[in-house]
Structure 1
Amino acid sequence: MRIPGPEARADGGAGAVTAAGGLHTYQLWLHREYGPVVRFQLPGAGTAVSIADPVLLEATAHIDKRPERLFAFLEPLCEAGNLQVLPADEHTPWRRLLLSVLAGRPSHERHFGEFTALATELADRLARQADSGPVALQKELTALSLRMICAYALGGDVDLADPDEVITAFEVVLTEYLAGEPGARAEESLARLRATVDRVIAAHRSAGRTDRSDLIGALVEAGERPARIRDTVMMTMLAAHHTTGVAISWTLHLLGRHPEAAGRVAAELDRVLGDRAVPDHADLRRLTYLDMVVKESMRLFPPGPYGAREATDDLVVGGYEIPAGTTVFYPFWAVHMNPDYWPQPEEFRPERFTPQEVAARPRSAYIPFGVGPRSCEGAGLAMIEAELTLAVLLKRFRFHPAPGHEVTPIERFVLWAADDIRMNVTPRTT
């Protein structure tokens, strides 16, 4: 049975993607038009098969291979092989090691104080600027997330001569390398970042540190070679700061448009924290409504709106045959907007994430961090950072949409906003 989809175009599908406003919106149109399994032209990968039904998607969740061509743009950031396309036998132990650190409570607790201090620093700056007009939240929050992941990945107890220099260098690398236009400034910045990470690695080795809650320490103890350690730290910084920063800003955007939900978050923070301005690590588990709000935000605006795998064997999905070697496209946003599993999917309803509602849905109906053996190793850490930052900000402030400012999602490595998310920030009086 032939998989439905649009007719092939001579331009490889690029024109259709552009006409739809980007691949993030093209996926939504494809599945509205053709159903849960769609064949389409994916620029850079030839013909791909997209699956937006979570039950059918489970049949592909075991795949542990990414299409190399689609991730080739990350090769300049890696010297020991592109970490995003490692073969399964090499990827599995590397992933297991990362999960032992990134998903572990000892690691989260160790860095929680640093994260709290950085979030409080941002809150203090917002308080000083309260009368200065709308704040560009995505700019502020991605900068905060980058500072957090720098502290995490490079080790907060290691003396960095100039942390802001590291952050600036990383922004240059992201902007120029990922745009495919690296110049001398980008090459110099990349060299500076690698030298910084090498210095931190050397400090760990000389100190004989073997703390498994520390990313570099765990990699050193596992015997990873310096180039692979450096690449891992760089890729962690890349993946973590953009996704977490935009997730926080989309959450504030939604709360600004739903004041009743914002009021419930504020009431929960007051009940759990009392007079304290910031939570401790244990408090996050008690902020159940905030957790639902963040998850509903990432359903509506998944930071990474799609992913891709390469079928390693012939598959049958929903009665359709998918040959080995086919690019399997994971349209996370379309999965999250599937009305069969999310009634009135465009509405903001945090109550979708009560334990009862979650138990009634297929596991893969909600996949903001991906699915299967290539899903995001830092999902737990990202949720800690996001909920901590939101708790610090929402305990002190209310966020209101800037009048006349239109927020339009666009595709820029993550689900960004075309002209940022500009909001007025006012101190809470109650």
Structure 2
Amino acid sequence: MEIPGPERRADGGLGAIADAGGLHLYQLRLHEEYGPVVRFQLPGADTAVSIADPVLLEATAHLDERPERLFAFLEPLFETGNPQVMPAGEHAPWRRLLLSVPAGRASHEQRLPHFTALTVSLADRWAEQAGDAEGDDGRPVGLQKDLTALSLRMICAYALGGAEITDPERVVSAFEDILTAHLGRLYRTPGPVTPEEAAERGREGERAEAALVLLRRTVDRVIAAHRGGRGGRSDVVGALVEAGEEPGRIRDTVMVTMLAAHHTTGVAVSWALYLLSRHPRTTERVTEELDRVLGNRAAPGYADLRRLVQLEMALKEATRLCPPGPYGARRTDSALVVGAYEIPAGATVFYPFWAVHMNPEYWPEPDAFRPERFTPQESAARPRLAHIPFGIGPRACEGARLAMVEAMLILAVLLKRFRFRLVPGHEVVPVERFVLWAADDIRMTVGLRNAV
């Protein structure tokens, strides 16, 4: 059976993506119109097939090659090759090496006090500009800017030998400058440009070059700091050194770890706070649970996290509606049968996480924020791949479990202490980056909730 999809366009599909407002929104539109399996044009892929049904996705979960052209926008970050498209034969041992760094409960519990101290430090800074319990809103904060910087500090403390980054906000901004410049080129429609557009593109390129210099210096400082600290396989750098990896591969691994890990947690928490601010009854249930479980304590211990059921359900529902990474992609190495369709060898299989999460067959009224979807009973009734905020298969996020621990901790500390309100008139617009970003951040005021 022929896979349905739109008519081919001379521009390779760029115009359709631009008209939709980005690739993630284009995916939603395609699946609404054509169903769970769609053929479409995509820059960097000759044949692209998007699958938004979690049952059909099972047939693709073994795929372990990424299409190189689709991830080419990340190439300027790396010296020895883009780890995101590392061939399967190299990727599998590299992934095993990264996962050999302690990543289970004991490791997370050991690091939790330091994570807590970092989070409380941010909360103290927010408290200085917070409103009071009587309704004064205080000065606004940018959730994504501050929370991604916090996540960067956490990943350095956990996975990069305890290295301190003195100006994480600049590092986060540097990543954004590079991603903005190079993603923009990937989806830029051909044609004449105005002098103003040409000048802006030039400035964008200059910012990206300066950002790359900053990031490489930061990576070098992280590695240099590690040499003077603890060694062995207790962190990513130590594991790579012990395995005899070349310096360039070590630097690239540090770079990709910083990029992926700080985005995942910081973005997930910021969207969760935004959605909770729009649903006061859900927020009330979450804060009542926090008060009951924590009492007068400002932060949870590791054992408390499992008791914060309402909070966990709210976080999972937030990652359904606003998955940190809105899509993924793999390449078929041979013809693949998916349901009634055959996908040819060499095709790009597109994982539209957002469209999977909005599939009404498995998520009734998918636009609604309903954390109760994630009770054990509701979760057990859905297919395994209905909720995939961290990807699927052998290329899924290595740090997914750590990201959930970090996000739960951050949310618990902040919601125990503050109430959040969107700045009046501020519009939150999701945009495509390496993650699901907000065009002008998520600007909220914080008011003191409890004295702790």
Q: TM-score range by the shorter chain?
A: over 0.9
SS in 2 for 1:12: coil
Output the CA distance in 2 between the equivalents of 1:28 and 1:285: 34
Q: Secondary structure at the match of 2:100?
A: helix
Deviation (angstroms), 1:280: 1.4
Residue identity opposite 2:300 in structure 1: P
Letter in 1 for 2:77: L
In structure 2, relative to structure 1, the CA distance for the partners of 1:309 and 1:118 (3 Å cut) is same
Distance (Å, rounded) in 2 between the aligned partners of 1:176 and 1:374: 23
In the alignment, which residue of structure 2 is the partner of 1:52?
Answer: 52
Task: Confirm or deny: 8 A CA contact 2:37 2:51 kept in the other structure.
Answer: yes
1:195 is displaced (CA, Å) by 2.0
SS at match of 1:400: strand
Give the letter aligned to residue 263 of structure 2: H
For 2:345 and 2:320, locate their aligned partners in 1 and report how far apart those are by CA, in whole Å.
Answer: 30
2:104 aligned partner, one-letter code: G
1:388 aligns with 2:409: yes
State the AA in 1 paired with 2:161: G
Say yes or no: does 1:152 pair with 2:147. Answer: no
Matches within 5 A, 1:209-224: 209-210=231-232, 212-224=233-245
Q: What SS does structure 2 have at the residue aligned with 1:126? A: helix
- Matches of 2:122 and 2:380, distance apart in 1: 37
| Matched-pair contact (CA < 8 Å) for 1:65–1:87 | yes
Paired residues of 1:246 and 1:416 also in contact (CA < 8 A): yes
Superposed, 1:235-274 pairs within 5 Å as: 235-274=256-295
Relative to structure 1, the CA distance from residue 17 to residue 360 in structure 2 (aligned partners, 3 Å threshold; closer, same or farther) is: same
User: Given that residues 149 and 168 in structure 2 are in contact (C-alpha distance below 8 angstroms), is that contact kept between their aligned partners in structure 1?
Assistant: no
Are residues 1:175 and 2:200 paired? no
Taking only aligned residues, the RMSD between alpha carbons, in angstroms, comes to 1.8
| Alignment equivalent of 2:140, drawn from 104, 117, 134 | 134
SS at match of 1:101: coil
Q: Tell me which residue corresponds to 1:277.
A: 298
Distance in 2 of aligned mates of 1:224 and 1:188:
23
Give 1:82 deviation, angstroms.
1.5
Distance 1:142 1:194, change over 3 A: closer
Could you tell me whether the CA contact under 8 Å between 1:398 and 1:426 is conserved in 2? yes
Cα deviation, residue 429, structure 1: 4.5
* Residue of structure 2 in register with 1:197 after alignment: 222
Equivalent in the alignment of 2:201: none
* The one of 342, 346, 355 aligned to 2:367: 346
Cα distance in structure 1, aligned partners of 2:167 and 2:297: 33
Runs ≥4 residues deviating over 4 A: none
Question: Deviations 1:32-61 (Å, cap 9, x if unpaired)?
Answer: 100010000012223300000000011001
Residue 252 of structure 2 is aligned with which of 224, 231, 238?
231
**Map of 1:93 onto structure 2:** 93
**Counterpart of 1:97 in structure 2: which amino acid?**
L
Deviates more, 1:179-188 or 1:399-408: 179-188
| Pairing 1:357–2:351 present | no
Task: Report how far residue 173 of structure 1 moved.
Answer: 4.6
Normalised by the size of structure 2, how large is the TM-score? 0.89
Conserved 8 A contact 1:126-1:425: yes
Give 1:106 deviation, angstroms: 3.1
- CA displacement 1:312-333 (0-9 Å, x = unmatched): 1101112111111000000000
Change over 3 Å in CA distance of 1:400–1:61 after alignment to 2: same
Q: Which moved more, 1:338-347 or 1:414-423?
A: 414-423
Partner residue in 2 for 1:33:
33
* Distance verdict in 2 for CA 1:177–1:51, change over 3 Å: closer
Number of aligned residue pairs: give it: 422
Deviation at 1:335? 0.2
Contact map agreement 2:179 2:433 (CA 8 A) in 1: no
Q: CA deviation at 1:384?
A: 1.1
**In structure 1, what is the equivalent of residue 107 of structure 2?**
107
Distance of aligned partners of 1:254 and 1:177 in 2 relative to their CA distance in 1, 3 Å threshold = closer
Give the 3-state SS of the residue equivalent to 1:380 in structure 2. helix
C-alpha displacement of 1:20: 0.8
Asked if 1:80 corresponds to 2:80, the answer is: yes
One-letter identity of the residue aligned with 2:324: P
Matches of 1:81 and 1:75 in 2, distance apart? Answer: 7
Residue 76 (structure 1) shift:
2.4
Hey, what's the Cα distance between the residues in 2 that align with 1:107 and 1:219?
18
On the 8 A contact 1:169/1:192 being kept in 2, the answer is no
Q: Say if 2:427 is the partner of 1:406.
A: yes
TM-score (norm 1): 0.93
1:397: which partner in 2?
418
Q: Which residue of 1 aligns with 2:9?
A: 9
Q: Which whole-Å CA distance do the structure 2 matches of 1:141 and 1:285 have between them?
A: 23
- Same amino acid, percent of matched pairs: 68
> In the alignment, does 2:312 pair up with 1:291?
yes
Do the aligned residues in 1 keep the contact of 2:146 with 2:169 (CA within 8 Å)?
no
Aligned pair 1:164/2:166, yes or no? Answer: yes
Report the Cα distance in structure 2 between the residues aligned to 1:184 and 1:392, rounded to whole angstroms. Answer: 37
Shift of 1:178: 5.4
* Aligned amino acid, residue 245 of structure 2: E
Quote the offset at 1:80 in angstroms: 2.6
In the TM superposition, what is the alpha-carbon distance from 1:220 to its structure 2 partner?
2.6
**1:336-387 alpha-carbon deviations (Å, 9 max, x no partner):** 0000001111111111111111111100000000000000001011111111
Distance change (3 Å), C-alpha of 1:405 and 1:300:
same
Partner Cα distance (1:13, 1:102) in 2: 44
The change in CA–CA distance for 1:198 and 1:214 in structure 2 (over 3 A counts) is closer
Note the residue ranges of structure 2 that are not aligned, 5 or more in a row.
132-137, 183-204
Equivalent AA in structure 1 for residue 214 of structure 2: S
CA contact (8 A) 2:178 2:212 kept: no
Q: Give the Å deviation of 1:405.
A: 2.1
CA distance in 1, matches of 2:168, 2:418: 30
The residue number in structure 2 matching 1:119 is 119
SS in 2 for 1:179: helix
CA-to-aligned-CA distance 1:386-424 (integer Å, 9 cap, x gap): 111000001111112222222221112211112221222
Taking a change above 3 Å as real, the CA distance of residues 178 and 58 of structure 1, as seen in their structure-2 partners, is same
Paired letter, 1:30: L
Question: Are 2:153 and 2:168, in contact at CA under 8 Å, matched by a contact in 1?
Answer: no
- Structure 1 gaps of 5+ residues are none
Is this contact kept in 2: 1:76–1:177, CA < 8 A? no
